[in-house]
Homo-oligomer: A and B are copies of this chain.
Amino acid sequence: MKRSAATLKDVASAAGVSAMTVSKALRNAPGVSDKTRERVLAIAQNIGYETNVSASALKTGRSGIIQIIVNEYDIPFYSKLIDVMSSAVVANGYTPFLQQTKYSSAALQSTLSSSLFSGVLSDGVIAHASGLSGDLFEKIVHGKPAVLIDSCEEQPVVSSVVFPNEEGARAAVQYLAERGCRNIGLIGPSYLEKKDFLHSPSPMKLRMRGARAALLDLGLPYDESTVIAVEGMSEEHAIDSVHELAKSGRIPFDGLFCLNDSAAIGAIRALADCGIRVPDDVKVIGFDGVREGGFHVPSLTTISVDMQQLARLVMLSLKQQIDHEGEPLTATKTTIGFTLLERESTQSR
């Protein structure tokens, strides 16, 4: 077995044709007789020929690779996201190329513009936008086809598909109220007043805004004591904040809307530490619809976003951009749907 890979020439001489013919045959390009094509394919298969992406990409300027950039792989939300998005990319005939930034904007930049994986190799970029201005992104991506996921800029520079943050949050709070909760707490980055929502929106801000609006509509209180502030949206952060609150007195809530599922899972865990029962004492609802939510005890009620739709819309936008590689195409912004997934964490007993 040859160590160095077989080239088009090798196949060509084995088949008694030119390299060009082999190239066409393998790519199903026109200009080759069926008979020749079949023979070439068989021979290529036989000697284990594999096309050299580097060469082909160098020549054509297209690699067939789509970058998918997220913050971190080992987080339920992201592992689901990369699964769904990778599958969609593959289904569309492209090769997904994953990268995690570990939340470092610097890392992201170097990731995007590092000596490797510059924009040069990939034909397009899909990124979950967290902690990344569309502006910066655009600069990095240089106008190559790109779609942001859940980037909430009012004036998008790059097309994005966003989550139903406000609507979903509203629905979550309304649902808790319908289930009889009167002291509804929120777990999110921080307490925000009306004016805080005016600038630089982010997914969590929008969820907070939706929750706030719902509370006010319902005539329920929304003030500093409504929000359990967390330093991050992970399970650990939620656990810390809930423990902290419990230490300084009783948990004053009978309902808790956690701005994402990880926070909800952390909250349930921390409440258990305090001897508080979910849903008996406090009902808990999350946001996202991660896989793990269904396996917990109690299972987690959540605003489940439609990830399949997300994948479809992202690919649609990306392909449009790739087809119009020539020029602009104004940035679009589409919102995906959600369903309220009722499970045990909000059941009445």
Which A residues form the contact surface with B (CB < 8 A)? 1, 3, 5, 26, 48, 50-55, 57-58, 63-65, 72-76, 78-80, 82-84, 86-87, 95-98, 100, 102, 113, 115-121, 142-143, 235, 239, 265-266, 268-269, 272, 291-292, 294-297, 299
Q: Are A118 and B58 in contact (CB under 8 A)?
A: no
Q: Can you name 28 A-B pairs with beta carbons within 8 Å?
A: A3-B142, A3-B143, A5-B119, A50-B115, A51-B115, A52-B120, A52-B121, A53-B120, A54-B55, A54-B57, A55-B58, A63-B116, A72-B83, A73-B79, A73-B83, A73-B86, A74-B80, A74-B84, A76-B292, A79-B79, A86-B100, A97-B97, A235-B294, A235-B295, A239-B295, A269-B295, A296-B296, A296-B297
Q: In the complex, what's the smallest C-beta–C-beta distance from A224 to chain B, in angstroms?
A: 27
Alpha-carbon distance A50/B115, docked complex (angstroms): 6
Alpha-carbon distance A338/B235, docked complex (angstroms): 24
Q: Are A269 and B296 in contact (CB under 8 A)?
A: yes
Q: In the complex, what's the smallest C-beta–C-beta distance from A188 to chain B, in angstroms?
A: 18
Alpha-carbon distance A120/B172, docked complex (angstroms): 50
Q: Are A291 and B64 in contact (CB under 8 A)?
A: no
Q: Are A116 and B64 in contact (CB under 8 A)?
A: yes
Q: In the complex, what's the smallest C-beta–C-beta distance from A14 to chain B, in angstroms?
A: 18
